[in-house]
Amino acid sequence: MDDRQRYDRATAHLEPPFAVLDLAALRANAADMTRRARGKPIRVASKSIRSRPVLQRILAMDGYTGTMAYTLPEALWLASTGLRDILVAYPTADRTAMTRLTTDPRAAREITLMVDRTDHLDLIETATAGLRDRHEIRLCLDVDAGYTALGGRLRAGALRSPVRDADQAADLAADIAKRPGLRLTGVMAYEAQIAGVGDDPPGHPLTARAIRWMQARSRRELILRRGRIVQAVRQFADLEFVNGGGTGSLATTTREKAVTELTAGSGFYHPRLFDFYRGFTGRPAALFALPVVRRPAPGVATVLGGGYTASGTPGPDRLPQPYLPCGLRYDPREGAGEVQTPLIGQPAEDLRLGDRVWFRHAKAGELCERFATLHLIDGDEIVDEVPTYRGEGRTFL
Ligand SMILES: Cc1ncc(COP(=O)(O)O)c(C=O)c1O
């Protein structure tokens, strides 16, 4: 039985649109990531999962420890449900949530906030000043791991932190050390230009060469810089962790001595944008099914919905991939529509009303903002239905 038959059979009783998670694919992806990490623990990026029961399943697997959350309200919610060791990977300006954090001993113990400048420290101190029973707030220092060349004219990587060298990191660490109520417990440096950029884009050999050139240089530069930064910060703080990497860089980031733990998120669901790496091949695990509702012309099958565009620079690579049956594509004049999406290509001819077309999202967790539940498939049957964050009424972004 091929995957399409398997998915169709498992979900025959459901009315699309709905989303599924193939557990065998998820397990295979998780196992391959721990193999690439070669024994270093992996923190799970919740933004790429966005379902609490799925997050819990992953955290129960060997090699995975701790969660990387994306907002403080999310982290507070996860902590209240029993999750431990939650690193909020993006700075917060949410004063109400900061108050909740510092007055809740359990949350204060389990959650670490991200900072990258003194303004963040001032904001946290102001937001929590004067509260009774204030608990110490754990902090992590975000370091810019981007690559720059030609005197800064060439830059690759996410624009995150203004802290780039050992002196800047040491200054901020020293500032934190002076402030009672704040404790620096970690350093994070995320190399988006390696972890999140496929080095094998199809049909673009020159771009592929440029990406590989940049990534090789960036790797070499980071080994030295990250090492120096961590050494400098350790003079002012007893670091519990140094976090780095993402799905696309596990195999190389793990080699750096200064890094004590890695992060991965997208690799579990293996969305479309992660197809273009030479170092690994994941299995698509998260899919959504849309029903064929029209045949407007010969060779065209129109499905309901479909315009679940991913974040990032707009472009065709942000659209979902019509995945099964294989060989379908968008009409270039329409793309993926708000309420209906015409599909062309040879298999469209054979699709009848009510048939399903299976799609993959371009990114991982954003799919869960569209569906209240994920149907968990094992083999050719559904074994469970679990809520997404949205399904639990939690939309943090
Ligand atoms: C700080 C940080 N670390 C790691 C990752 C890697 O996540 P993924 O494995 O989903 O690419 C991300 C994703 O954006 C991130 O923001």
Q: Write out pLDDT tens, residues 233-253.
A: 999 999 999 999 999 999 999
The Å distance, Cα 18 to ligand 1 centre, comes to 26
| Pocket lining: 91 vs ligand 1, CB cutoff 6 Å | no
| Pocket lining: 263 vs ligand 1, CB cutoff 6 Å | yes
Whether the pLDDT of residue 132 is over 90: the answer is no
Q: Write out pLDDT tens, residues 373-386.
A: 999 999 999 999 99
Name the band, by pLDDT with cuts 50, 70 and 90, for residue 297. very high
Name the band, by pLDDT with cuts 50, 70 and 90, for residue 1. confident
Which pLDDT value is given to residue 339?
Answer: 97
Q: Which residue from 68, 197, 268, 269 has its CB within 8 A of the most atoms of ligand 1, so it is best to mutate?
A: 68
Q: Tell me the sheet residues that pair with 140.
A: 114, 186
Which pLDDT value is given to residue 133?
Answer: 86
Least confident of 21-25, 108-112, 154-158: 154-158
Name the band, by pLDDT with cuts 50, 70 and 90, for residue 41. very high
The Å distance, Cα 70 to ligand 1 centre, comes to 10
Q: Which residue from 74, 113, 160, 190 has its CB within 8 A of the most atoms of ligand 1, so it is best to mutate?
A: 190
Whether the pLDDT of residue 126 is over 90: the answer is yes
Q: Which pTM was predicted?
A: 0.96
Whether the pLDDT of residue 223 is over 90: the answer is yes
Q: Which residue, judged by its Cα, is nearest atom 15 of ligand 1?
A: 190
Name the band, by pLDDT with cuts 50, 70 and 90, for residue 295. very high
Which pLDDT value is given to residue 198?
Answer: 94
| Pocket lining: 247 vs ligand 1, CB cutoff 6 Å | yes
What is the overall mean pLDDT for the chain?
A: 97
What is the rounded average pLDDT of the residues 216-220? 96
| Pocket lining: 190 vs ligand 1, CB cutoff 6 Å | yes
Which pLDDT value is given to residue 130?
Answer: 87
Q: Tell me the sheet residues that pair with 42.
A: 64, 262
Q: Tell me the sheet residues that pair with 139.
A: 113, 184
Whether the pLDDT of residue 13 is over 90: the answer is yes
Q: Where are the alpha helices (DSSP H) in the chain?
A: 3-10, 23-37, 52-59, 72-80, 95-103, 105-110, 118-128, 166-178, 192-195, 205-234, 250-253, 266-269
Least confident of 120-134, 235-249, 339-353: 120-134
Which pLDDT value is given to residue 152?
Answer: 84
DSSP secondary structure string, 329-375? EE-TTT-S-SSEEEEESGGGGG--TT-EEEEE-SSSGGGGGT-SEEE
The Å distance, Cα 335 to ligand 1 centre, comes to 28
